[in-house]
């Protein structure tokens, strides 16, 4: 699949010695409050050496960021063009709402199968209306953590 400037942007970034350990630099947050409200936020500088004017997935509601009290709150990080194509966050919400899939299953299908199948990579953090948490990624690592109202918490970088 030909990717035009998005692919060359990534290739240029990867070729630069200082970017050999290329990482995504997005910061995301999702939350479920005591009233059952779900919220998601995503902040990013975009991709290294991105073309001017590029709009990534983070500000596109339904792609890199999405929250719906009926289903889930999601914040994504990764190669944004693929998250946009997959309408990543809303697709997961729809799989839960209309396909009755649990969060983990829906998120795994999208992040671990459909995203790499297209040639993209990345991950996401998500919390559903029941408080279930999923943080799948198909990269080497993803800085992530959670805290529950019980006080249970976790911080991780690589896979278990
Ligand atoms: N998703 C962001 C973008 O494509 C990059 C990132 O997650 O760091 O703009």
The string of pLDDT tens digits covering residues 117-147 is 999 999 999 999 999 999 999 999 999 999 9
Q: Which atom of ligand 1 is nearest to the CA of 81?
A: 4
Residue 105 belongs to some domain of the structure: yes
Question: With a 6 A CB cut-off, is 137 part of the ligand 1 pocket?
Answer: no
In this prediction, residue 154 carries a pLDDT of 97
Q: What is the mean pLDDT of the chain?
A: 90
Residue 102 belongs to some domain of the structure: yes
Question: With a 6 A CB cut-off, is 44 part of the ligand 1 pocket?
Answer: yes
Distance CA 16, CA 2 (A): 22
Domain range for 70 is 25-46+55-145+153-158
- Can you state the percent helix, strand and coil of the chain, rounding each to 5? 30, 30, 40
Nearest to 157 by CA among 132, 134, 137: 137
Whether residue 19 has pLDDT greater than 80: no
Query: In this structure, which residue's CA is closest to atom 4 in ligand 1?
Result: 80
In this prediction, residue 68 carries a pLDDT of 98
In this prediction, residue 76 carries a pLDDT of 98
Total domains in the chain come to 1
Residue 73 belongs to some domain of the structure: yes
Q: CA torsion 73→77→79→85, rounded to 10°?
A: 0
Residue 63 belongs to some domain of the structure: yes
CATH number of residue 64's parent domain: 3.60.20.30
Residue 8 belongs to some domain of the structure: no
For the segment 8-22, the average pLDDT, to the nearest whole number, is: 52
Residue among 9, 12, 26, 77 flagged as catalytic: 26
The string of pLDDT tens digits covering residues 90-125 is 999 999 999 999 999 999 999 999 999 999 999 999
Query: In this structure, which residue's CA is closest to atom 5 in ligand 1?
Result: 46
Active site residue 9: no
Interval between CA 28 and ligand 1 midpoint (Å): 11
Residue 2 belongs to some domain of the structure: no
Residue 125 belongs to some domain of the structure: yes
Angle subtended at Cα 61 by Cα 55 and Cα 66, rounded to the nearest 5 degrees: 135
Whether residue 6 has pLDDT greater than 80: no
Q: What is the phi/psi pair of residue 87, to 5°?
A: 45, 55
Whether residue 149 has pLDDT greater than 70: yes
Residue 77 belongs to some domain of the structure: yes
133 HSE (CA, 13 A, CB side) = 15
What pTM was computed for the model?
0.88
Whether residue 16 has pLDDT greater than 70: no
């Amino acid at each position: 699949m030909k990717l035009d400037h998005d692919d060359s942007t990534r290739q240029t970034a990867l070729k630069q010695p200082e970017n050999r350990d290329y990482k995504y630099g997005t910061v995301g947050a999702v939350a479920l409050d005591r009233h059952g409200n779900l919220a998601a936020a995503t902040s990013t500088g975009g991709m290294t050496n991105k073309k001017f004017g590029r709009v990534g997935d983070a500000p596109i509601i339904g792609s890199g960021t999405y929250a719906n009290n009926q289903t889930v709150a999601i914040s994504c990080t990764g190669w944004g063009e693929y998250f946009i194509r997959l309408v990543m966050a809303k697709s997961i919400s729809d799989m839960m709402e209309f396909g009755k899939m649990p969060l983990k299953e829906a998120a795994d299908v999208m992040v671990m199968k459909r995203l790499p199948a297209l040639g993209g990579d990345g991950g996401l953090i998500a919390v559903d209306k029941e408080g279930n948490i999923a943080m799948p990624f198909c990269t080497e690592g993803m800085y992530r953590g959670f805290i529950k109202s019980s006080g249970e918490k976790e911080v991780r970088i690589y896979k278990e």
